Amino acid sequence: MPGTELFGAEERKEVNDVLETGILFRYGHDAQRNGHWKAREFEEEVKKITGAKYAHAMSSGSTAVATALAAAGIGTGDEVIVPPFTFIATIEAVLFVGALPVFAEVDETLCLSAEGIKKAITPKTKGVCLVHMCGGMAEMDSIMQVVKEHNLILVEDAGQAFASSYKGVSTGLFGKAGSYSFDFFKIATAGEGGVLVTNDEETYNKADYYSDHGHSHIGAKRGMEQHPILGFNYRIGELNAAVGLAQTRRVPHIREVNRKYKKMLTELLSQTPGIGFATIADPDGDSATFLNILMETPEAAQRTVDEMNNAGVAGFDYWYKNMYHFINQWDHIKEMRTASKLAVEVLGTPQDYANLQLPVTQNVIGRLISFGIRCTWTEEQVRDLAAKISDCVKKALATAHA
């Protein structure tokens, strides 16, 4: 799955461009940088992949989604519907802009469902922070119908779904703003980095200001720039942007190979009774970074995981017990353990986070086993992995029926 599989001469060339000038800062120093603007070039490559009108690179996917929320107008006291299955940064971003998370059900797309969103709406709901999980995408037609019907602000966290799309529209471009992660484990990496995308000029301008202490970035002298709004330091540096630039150029190739190997795995594993797959809302738009298996029951999934661990099968996640990606392990949120007081602690939580009832989500994530797809596999390795998975599933189901 990660772009680092192909890390090499192209990345080193882009980094060396920066090192040779010594200009590590993304703004200014025009005369010294010898024409190298890696953050700008990185943003242009993201726009080519996604079709976004505007893209703004930042220090991480986490800061990108936080900026997306702020630039979209989400702030203190606003209720925001969020999924209980996501990397924890999504929830942190909502909390740290002062908003109040409201957890809703996901479905077999592994993303928030239209029905889940609808049931979570209250008179205080301001927006939805939709997360496109595991390389796929949410079922956007029905979700957009709910968003428009209730006049909600939609922000998309597509941290795991760069290069995926739904009916020709890239994830991240359905709402007011979207974000991608380019951390070490994504389809393309900057080491650490993120990119905000939007088709709305006002939202882009706010994001541009907000992510750099409110600087307008107009004029030749940084110290004399205007500050249209308050902001903070979420800037990306030129070294990280240089890596992200080279990596993003690789994405079309990585996606093509991923799709080939995911198709092979799916066809081979479909022959094994008991193995199902997560729903892909638009198969033609899948970035194919994950193969998401859905077992028939959570118990069958746990037994399969046990068999795979015993057999030394690697490269999978059982998210149901993952400390960072599923609500069952988020005790620090349930107990609101914070370094300093947040708005939610003053205003009150809109739900009892410690006693949420999300039966659909618990069932889906309990049944889910995800394998990262690697573009450097050989076909022989793909067949070998499929055989190992199939064998473990057969043993797990045989144990259940014994």
Q: Compute the average pLDDT of residues 80-99.
A: 98
Q: Which residues are catalytic?
A: 186
Q: Indicate the domain borders of the chain.
A: 3-250, 252-322+361-401
Q: Supply the pLDDT for residue 2.
A: 72
User: Residues 58, 234: contact at Cβ < 8 Å?
Assistant: yes
**Where does the pLDDT of residue 220 fall: very low under 50, low under 70, confident under 90, or very high at 90 and above?**
confident
Q: What is the pLDDT of residues 38-85, one digit of tens each?
A: 999 999 999 999 999 999 999 999 999 999 999 999 999 999 999 999
Tell me the average pLDDT of the chain: 97
DSSP 144-163: HHHHHHTT-EEEEE-TT-TT
Q: Supply the pLDDT for residue 80.
A: 98
Q: Supply the pLDDT for residue 3.
A: 78
Q: Supply the pLDDT for residue 400.
A: 66
Q: What percent of the chain has pLDDT over 90?
A: 98
- pLDDT of residue 328 exceeding 80, the answer is yes
Per CATH, which fold does 3-250 belong to? Aspartate Aminotransferase; domain 2 (3.40.640)
CATH number of 252-322+361-401: 3.90.1150.10
Q: Supply the pLDDT for residue 401.
A: 67
Q: Kindly tell me the sign of the dihedral angle through the C-alpha atoms of 193, 198, 203, 209.
A: positive
9-21 vs 238-269: helix axis angle to the nearest 10? 170
Q: What is the pLDDT of residues 277-296, one digit of tens each?
A: 999 999 999 999 999 999 99
Q: Supply the pLDDT for residue 4.
A: 86
- Report how far residue 307's alpha carbon sits from residue 98's, in angstroms, rounded to the nearest whole number: 44
- Report how far residue 315's alpha carbon sits from residue 272's, in angstroms, rounded to the nearest whole number: 20
Strand order in the sheet with 368-372: 275-277, 290-295, 368-372, 316-317
Q: Supply the pLDDT for residue 313.
A: 97
| Residue 192 burial class via C-beta count within 10 angstroms: exposed 0-12, middle 13-18, buried 19 and up | buried
Q: Supply the pLDDT for residue 55.
A: 98
Q: What is the pLDDT of residues 346-399, one digit of tens each?
A: 999 999 999 999 999 999 999 999 999 999 999 999 999 999 999 999 999 998
Q: Compute the average pLDDT of residues 116-144.
A: 97
- Report how far residue 186's alpha carbon sits from residue 133's, in angstroms, rounded to the nearest whole number: 12
Calculate ∠ Cα 171-185-252, nearest 5°: 50
